[in-house]
Structure formats: structure tokens, C-alpha cells
Amino acid sequence: MKVRLITRFGMLVAGLCGVVLGSSVTSSAQAAASNQSQQTACIAIVTPTVEGVPGSASDAAKGVSDLIASYLQGPTMKPLVLEAKLPVLAAEEAKQKGCEPLLIAGVRRKSGGGHGFMKALSQAAGTSSYSLPYGGSAASTVARAGASAGLQTVSSLAQSTKAKDEVSFEYRLQSADGKVEFGPKTERRTAKTDGEDLLTPLVQSAAEAIVTRTGSK
């Protein structure tokens, strides 16, 4: 009889320990997930406006979106490229996906010599050996840009850029309800030589300002 009681008592203790341990593990996992969620900021990227494009503005806008996303990707930030094209629908999409604020941006090119703007943007993306400024192969630039569409946009713009051309990058952060939280700000660069990449440093500078602002909140 004693042996049975001891055995049952041991089983009861073991069962209670299992429940406590399981509850502790679950709580720890939930706390870790909650902590990670709180530390990761989400930026919803609205389809940028691109002015002065004789070819496919849609392709150019997608490339700019991918380039922006590549610079905002990190352990404490998650960029989300929205699928909706219209601002009102983009705001609704951001709300549904729980990602705010919205990043609204635009690229504008002012020609310094009267030549065409981004004339190569409508070319097929199959070419694998773009000639890019500042040296480096297409493969290394893909690694930096993080997306083929972003790579082609950078390369196409650089190929058609002439000295004295100006590219501006305008951006702001706002809530899905339309409240401006940061900006609007404008970054500008003027080409010193033919074939200079103006877009990448503009996007990088804007991304750094956005990350700094988001991290300081």
C-alpha cells in the first residue's frame, strides 16, 4: 500500500513539474515574440512617383521601391512594399497588414543638357552585365541593391545621366490616416560626370534619416 501511495505521489509531482515547466516555456516564448514585435519597426512603402520617364514609369517606380526596401531592411526594421497603387488603397492595405507609418516618395530628374531621361528603363531586364559607375560588377551591385528591379533602375538612370543633370528624392512618413510624422524632406544631387549614379546615394541618405528618426522614437 505504501509503495502504491509513494508511486502515485511521485507521478503527481512529476505531472505538476511538467505543467509548470511547459507553462514557463510557453510564457518565455510569448514574451520573446512580444519583445521582438515591439523592437521591429515596420515601414510601408507606397509606390513612388517618378517624373520625366519616357518609358515605363511603372517599372521605374517598382525599381525605386525595391531599392528603398533594400536600404531599410534590418534586424530592427521591416520594410513592406505595398501592392496597391492608389494612395487611398495603399493606406487601407497598410492598416490591414498592421504596418505603419507609410513612406511616400518621389523621384524627379532635371536634365542639364536637354537629353532624354532614363531612356533605358523600358529595356528588358535580361541583360546581366550593366556598366555601372564607381566600378564594381553587376553581381556585386545586386548584392548591395538587394533586388534586380532596383539594380536595373539604378543602372538605367546612371547610363542616361549626363554632367549637370539633377536628381531629387522627395519623401515623407505619414500615418494611414494621413497625419505627417516626418518630413516632407528633399534630397538633391547634381552629376559631376557622365554616367554618375545619383539615385543610390539619395536613397541611402533618406534611409539613414528614416532609420535614425524611427530609432529615436
**pLDDT confidence of residue 98:** 95
Q: Which CATH number is 40-215's, of 3.30.70, 2.60.40, 2.30.30, 3.40.50?
A: 3.40.50
Non-local (6+) Cβ contacts of 33 within 8 A are none
| Average pLDDT of the residues in 30-58 | 71
Non-local (6+) Cβ contacts of 103 within 8 A are 43, 44, 45, 46, 68, 72, 79, 171, 172, 173, 210
Residue 42: CB atoms within 10 A of its CB come to 17
pLDDT(171) > 90: yes
- To the nearest 10 degrees (0 to 180), the angle between helices 138-145 and 148-160 is 120
pTM of the predicted structure, to 2 decimals? 0.67
| Average pLDDT of the residues in 61-66 | 92
**Which DSSP category does 73 fall into?**
-
Amino acid at site 5 = L
Lowest mean pLDDT of 77-81, 99-103, 135-139, 176-180, name the range: 135-139
